[in-house]
Structure 1
Amino acid sequence: MTIAFLIAALVVVVTPGAGVLYTVATGMGRGRRAGLLAAVGCTLGVVPHLVVALVAVAAFLHTAAPAFQALRYAGAAYLVWLGWTTLRDRGAWDPEATRPAPSARQVVTGAVLTNLLNPKLTIFLVAFLPQFVGADDPQRLLRMLGLGSVLMVLTLVVFAGYGVLAGTVRDQVLVRPWVSTWLRRGFAGSFLAMGAALALTR
């Protein structure tokens, strides 16, 4: 493993995407525990993409238009649904609200789906991991698995930081109704924009 890989992987993980957005929105809307659970779920959502990348089926998904299109539209629809539910769910953004919080299973499932339905993650792993493994390395598959595992650990640590930070500032931020309203709309709009961008991906 090289310092170059660690730096590149850290940059990739820290860069905001659908997983980061889901984790921060969950932490902000539901608190630190939910933010941590979202981080765990997003990390688990990387596993299927890593497996696909390792067995090189991702090349098939990329070239077989129907398979890729189906996954792409499913991911886009899910992001749009997240945007719509975030826009409608005012209770989660009210620290005084008494409505029951979602279960741990619901939070983790939502996080897993956020990453699972993102076909760009598979294509990214296929393009990213081989750059740090020699083409003639007899242990190439094993080394890619190791690098992918490190990437998942970084994802968990960074996303947990996002979730805890969002949950920590939640009460200080959401006591201002106008801030709460615009944050909720901002997260909803971001989910909708990501869904639209994914649907238009070629």
Structure 2
Amino acid sequence: MSVEFFITSLFIVVTPGTGMIYTLLITLRRGLRMGVLAALGGTLSILSHMTAAALGVAALLHASAMAFQMVKFAGVAYLLFMAYRMMKDKEQFDPDQLKGDEPHKKTAVGVMRDGILLNLLNPKLSIFFLAFLPQFIDINTTSPLADMVVLSAVFMAMTFVVFAMVAAAAASVRDKLLSQPQVMTWLKRGFAATFVALGAKLALTQR
């Protein structure tokens, strides 16, 4: 496993994306425990993209414009739904409702489900891993699939650690933010706008 793989993977993981934004959001709303579950959901979603790359599904998405567009716009719709749900629910960033570490509505399963779906419905990730991982597999190896699984596991571990660190950092300032309702209101709007922006970015994504 090369140093180049670790450096490249770390650069990819620390670049803010849907999974990291969602982890930050859930931590501020629900506390560290739920934030870590959001990080786990975002990490588990990577497993599907790794599997798709290993099985060649990513190649199918790359070859079929219709399949790519269907998955892509399902992802766009889900991102816009998250933004709409955030703005509609007045309790999402209500300091009185968010004190403590327990969710007032969303369960642990719901947090992980959204974390998985937000990244799962991005076909570009499957295609990315199809192009990314093979670069770090020895052409002389006798088991390229096994090597791909190992690289995928390392990438997922790095992703979870970074997301968990983001959750811990957000949890450390959560109480201070909850004491400032005006800041929480702007955070709510900011996260909603971020999901809309991520949806627009995904909509403009080409194969």
Shift of 1:101: 3.7
Partner SS state of residue 45, structure 1: helix
Which residue in 2 is equivalent to 1:34? 34
Extract unaligned runs of 5+ from structure 1. none
CA distance, structure 2, for counterparts of residue 112 and residue 40 of structure 1 = 9
Distance in 2, Cα, partners of 1:69 & 1:136: 36
Unaligned runs of 5+ in 2: none
Contact 2:58 2:123 in 1 (8 A): no
Q: Distance in 2 between matches of 1:116 and 1:92?
A: 24
What TM-score, normalized by structure 1, do the two folds share? 0.95
Specify the alignment match of 1:106 in structure 2: 110
- Partner residue, 1:144: 148
Matched length: 202
Q: Deviations over 1:71-95 (max 9, x none)?
A: 0000010111111112223323223
Percent identity between matched residues is 45
Q: Work out which of the residue numbers 108, 113, 120 in structure 2 matches 1:116.
A: 120
1:69-148 superposed matches below 5 A: 69-97=69-97, 100-148=104-152
- What amino acid is the match of 2:133? L
1:187 to 185, 191, 194: 191
Alpha-carbon distance in structure 2 between the residues aligned to 1:37 and 1:78: 19
Residue aligned with 2:27, SS = helix
- What residue in structure 2 maps to residue 2 of structure 1? 2
**1:23: how far off?**
0.7
- Per the TM alignment, residue 140 of structure 1 is displaced from its structure 2 partner at its CA by 1.4
- Check conservation: 1:79, 1:194, Cα contact below 8 A: yes
Letter of the 1:78 counterpart? Y
Residues 47-69 of structure 1: per-residue CA shift (max 9 Å, x gap): 11110101122111111111111
Once the two structures are TM-superposed, the CA of residue 34 in structure 1 deviates from its matched residue by 1.1
Match for 2:20: what amino acid?
V
Higher alpha-carbon deviation: 18-27 or 81-90: 81-90
Note the aligned Cα RMSD (angstroms). 1.4
Of 153, 161, 164, 1:160 maps to 164
- Tell me the secondary structure at the aligned position of residue 96 of structure 2: coil
Post-superposition offset of 1:7: 1.2
Q: What's the TM-score once normalised by structure 2's chain length?
A: 0.92
- For residue 136 of structure 1, report the CA deviation from its aligned partner: 3.7
Amino acid in structure 1 at the alignment position of 2:144 = R
Deviation of 1:167 after TM superposition, in Å, equals 2.4
Are the counterparts in 2 of residues 30 and 167 from structure 1 also a CA contact under 8 Å?
Answer: no
Shift of 1:100: 1.7
Q: Deviations over 1:121-144 (max 9, x none)?
A: 111111111111123422211111
d(CA) in 1 for partners of 2:42, 2:165:
13
Greater displacement, 70-79 / 97-106: 97-106
Over 6 Å off, 4+ runs: none
| Distance (whole Å) between structure 2 residues aligned to residue 163 and residue 173 of structure 1 | 14
